[in-house]
Amino acid sequence: MEDSPSIETVYEAIYALYNQNTNPTEKQQASNWLNEMQKSVYAWKIADELLARKVDLNSCYLAAQTMRSKLQNSFHELPQDSHASLRDALLNHLSKLDDTTDGVIATQLCVALAHLALQMGSWKNAAVDIASRYNSLKTCFILELLTVLPEEVNSRTLRLGANRRSEIYTEFSDNLPAVNQLLEMCLTSEANDERIKIRSYKCFASWLNIRSVSLSQVWHSNVLSNAFNVLCSFDGSNMVQEAAADAVIAFLQNLEDNNNQDEIQIEILNSVSRLEQAYMMSVTNEDLDRTVNYCRIFTELAESLVMTMINKSLGSNGLPHFSIKALDSVILCANHHDYEVLLITFNLWFRLSEELYKINNVVLTEMFKPYFEQLIGALYKHCMIDTDHEGLLDEGTEDFADFRMKCSDLIKDVVFIVSSSAVFQQMYMLLQTASVSNVTWDQMEAALFIMQAIARNILPHENEVVPKVVEAILNMPETVHINMRYTSVMLLGELCEWISHEQHSETLEPILNYLQYCLRQPNLAAVTAKSLHSICTTCRHHMVKHLSGLIEILKVVDMLNLPNDVAIGLLKGVAVIVAEVPEEHVYKAIKEICGRQLSPLLALVESTSEKTVPETNTSTDPIYWLDRLSAILRHLATKTNNEKDPCVVAIVEMWPSMSKICTRYKTDSRITEHFCRCLRFMIRLVSRSTTALLAPVAQQMAYLYKEHHHSCYLYIGSILVDEYGSKYDNPLVMTQCHSLLLEMIDAFIEPAFRLFSEKDGLRNYPDTVDDFFRLACRFIQKLPMPFLQSPVLEVIIRCSITAVSLDHKEANASVMKFLLDLLLCGKSRKDSINNEECRQYVTSIVNSIGEQLVDNLIQASVFSLQTYMLPDVIDVLIELMAYDKVQTLRWLNGAVEKLPKQNSAGLVTATNEQCLQFLNSFHSYENDGELCRSLREFSRYFR
């Protein structure tokens, strides 16, 4: 937008966008024009004028949103001398808002003003300034402003920099008393206004959430005591109570950072314990919302004290620290009748058990054991299915079924504290009493469910309880509830390791007979197939004699209406067993199980036209069969070693059919991706025995990629390089393989780089970047010298230097891996002649591109990459220094010198001392982690 549009033009565009009678084309044009206007430098003045005129809701909303967006993304457009006038204008707009103003407009303006305050270094003590405007701004807007101010400190888009953030945190810590005083005044003077109460508690929580305050600063705050009073009371609205709970929780979250103040901790523990009475009242009144809030508080307190109760109990001569009492309130909640309350506590138990596992102290484990025993007791009760429930629990749609799965995961994590055998024995005792006491089916089913969660932890030689449980399952009467039988089948699958033990091999046949019976029942087919998969995989040696029976099951598997992922599980189990059968039966078995997937695929190829759209997740979808075939090929772990091996012969014979499928679906990226996954397992399976697949696959992938830019073709290329790049001792075979592979990447280069050269091409095609540089990595790893001598290498290196700034996890990791492998390839070869030759090539490359590479790496680290991606940058810099440390340090100095020393607001990004400290870290460091920390801290000065 070259010239500033008139305000009337802006109003016309707004009207066209929001008017219901405008046709869609004009709406889109108006939207596009307004987007361009918002990006222009004129948007500041236009937004200010729209807010001043207050013509209608839509124009005010657009103006407020524009102002917020500009301050968030385009603050650099404003000259420094205009900051104060913009602040005054925004405060003036806020002062004119009233109760009739749309809340979204007020929020956008508050966020905009917060962004200005955070970026405007000359506006000192902005929070105090805002709090002092109690008489000129409405209380609700002051509270919202003070709420969003600390919330926006860590906004990535503002790029405040570590120095500015540090300055802000110090300022916030100093400003907290003034903010707290304002909140106390609001709660006192407007005690009956629930909206003000809620906003006050939210504001208090927001300031605590930045973790820049100490406990002593806020523990005696009247705001906090007011929140506790609200929570102790049985009156008031649930919304106020929830806001008060959020405020208390925000305070408790600071405990972990201030865990060395026993006196305050005792006071806090006592204050929270006093809420137990209010909790019990909420249970009596069946007020679930309040119950949940109390549970959140009890759980947060316990989680904040986890390390305190562990560490201080360790050094207390076997006596528990007082903080362990925080778990009493949590256990109280665990026994609530609604499982949603118990669910809130799960993260605490996971964390506590993880810490106990890491420490592995018997005395400490015994100290916490009673709490976990009570927890498992509560889980058992909550896992009971309603006795009136008809049919199976639906794992896909029922929340309760999802809750039970989470219970199962939790039990698996914590059971080591109370002993798997003890829990299994306890559940078995309950099953035993079923025949002599009034134990209902739901109680028995819950016991079996707990058993299946820990079945894999049972020692294989256990011979007292498990045989009796297995016998009871196999002899269940026909009339047993369907959920009982379902869970029993699950349990048998989880007992697979126990069944595989030589001592219990006699149980395998009756168990298989029982599972075959269950497989024919529609409600049980899916879970039975999963259990069969587990048993086939674990008991593969014992299952060989049952292979023919399993293949017979596969023949009717599609009549059982199994979900495809379950049928795939069954196929995996059968494929694993094929690897164990005698060699003379392998060919027939593979042809049988693979042919059952290939035949329908080929039928689809012949019967459907290119315009036919397959129905997802049905047998009309090629992916349905490709995924089955992939599962088989992946798990056919046969020990192939020559071209005449029956497995190799069977797989190579499949290629003409696979080629036909690939060509037929070349225009469909979804099907092609699944096809390439299947082809990958096929290549991996036979590559060590034959090169028969290399030429046809490489040539077809190269040809199809020129026509259709599916990045999975590149991925197959990397598989071919990995498998055929350096596997054969015969020099002639290796030369032929290398020649084919180099021809393949040469064919890939032109279409791939045509995509990269588009505007934002690297950003728009991250999958292609990822797969292409994985391919390049494999070339360096498997055939370094031919690749270093290849004319395609230079253009790949130049592209990688540009791509280091790509903010995409997988794509960037592949680019960095390519650069790292390139630098390493001259160091890791066993052949000394090749090693020296590689080093000479790489040294020449480093001298040519080193300065630009270092410059781009530093720029990317500071302005583009996520902090978790920085270790890859350090790996590359370390290897550059291994080639020439002095030169690399010189390049680093130059790269840091080019970085801006001030941001758009005139605030210092990184001082000369901080830059020097960063550079000095490269002169002497003990390990890679030290350099990573240094780069991470340095990058924060600019973020």
Q: Is 286 exposed, middle or buried (0-12, 13-18, 19+ CB in 10 A)?
A: exposed
35 pLDDT band (50/70/90 cuts)?
very high
831 pLDDT band (50/70/90 cuts)?
very low
Using the predicted structure, report yes or no on whether residue 803 has a pLDDT greater than 70.
yes
Using the predicted structure, report yes or no on whether residue 489 has a pLDDT greater than 90.
yes
| Alpha carbon distance 754, 932 (integer Å) | 35
Element (H, E) at 59: helix 57-73
Average pLDDT on 108-116 reads 95
Contacts of 736 (CB under 8 A, 6+ apart): 691
pLDDT value, residue 638: 67
pLDDT value, residue 636: 87
Average pLDDT on 774-798 reads 94
Looking from the CA of 349 toward its CB, the CA atoms found within 13 Å total 31
pLDDT value, residue 828: 56
Nearest alpha carbon to residue 690 among 656, 637, 652: 652
Using the predicted structure, report yes or no on whether residue 519 has a pLDDT greater than 90.
no
Joined together, the tokens standing for residue 210 give 């930045």
Average pLDDT on 789-813 reads 95
652 pLDDT band (50/70/90 cuts)?
very high
| Alpha carbon distance 622, 600 (integer Å) | 8
pLDDT value, residue 434: 61
Least confident of 206-215, 479-488, 680-689, 807-816: 206-215
Average pLDDT on 922-943 reads 91
Q: What are phi and psi of 158, to 5 degrees?
A: -75, -25
**Residues 500-516: tens digit of each pLDDT:** 988 888 899 999 999 98
Helices (H), ranges, 687-764: 694-707, 711-724, 731-756, 761-764
| Alpha carbon distance 674, 712 (integer Å) | 9
Nearest alpha carbon to residue 574 among 600, 619, 543, 542: 543
**Residues 545-603: tens digit of each pLDDT:** 888 888 888 877 777 777 788 888 888 888 988 878 888 888 898 999 999 999 999 99
Length of the chain as a residue count? 943
pLDDT value, residue 814: 97
pLDDT value, residue 839: 87
Place of tokens 């906003």: 199
What's this model's pTM, rounded to 2 decimal places?
Answer: 0.87
Joined together, the tokens standing for residue 68 give 């917020």
**Residues 119-161: tens digit of each pLDDT:** 999 999 999 999 999 888 899 999 999 999 999 998 888 889 9
Contact between 547 and 581 under an 8 Å Cβ cutoff? The reply is yes
Average pLDDT on 646-654 reads 92
Contact between 442 and 386 under an 8 Å Cβ cutoff? The reply is yes
Contact between 694 and 716 under an 8 Å Cβ cutoff? The reply is no
pLDDT value, residue 437: 65
Using the predicted structure, report yes or no on whether residue 640 has a pLDDT greater than 80.
no
Average pLDDT, the chain: 91
**Residues 758-783: tens digit of each pLDDT:** 999 999 999 999 999 999 999 999 99
| Alpha carbon distance 415, 356 (integer Å) | 12
| Alpha carbon distance 885, 566 (integer Å) | 56
What are the distances in angstroms from CA 270 to CA 71, 273, 322, 349? 46, 5, 11, 22
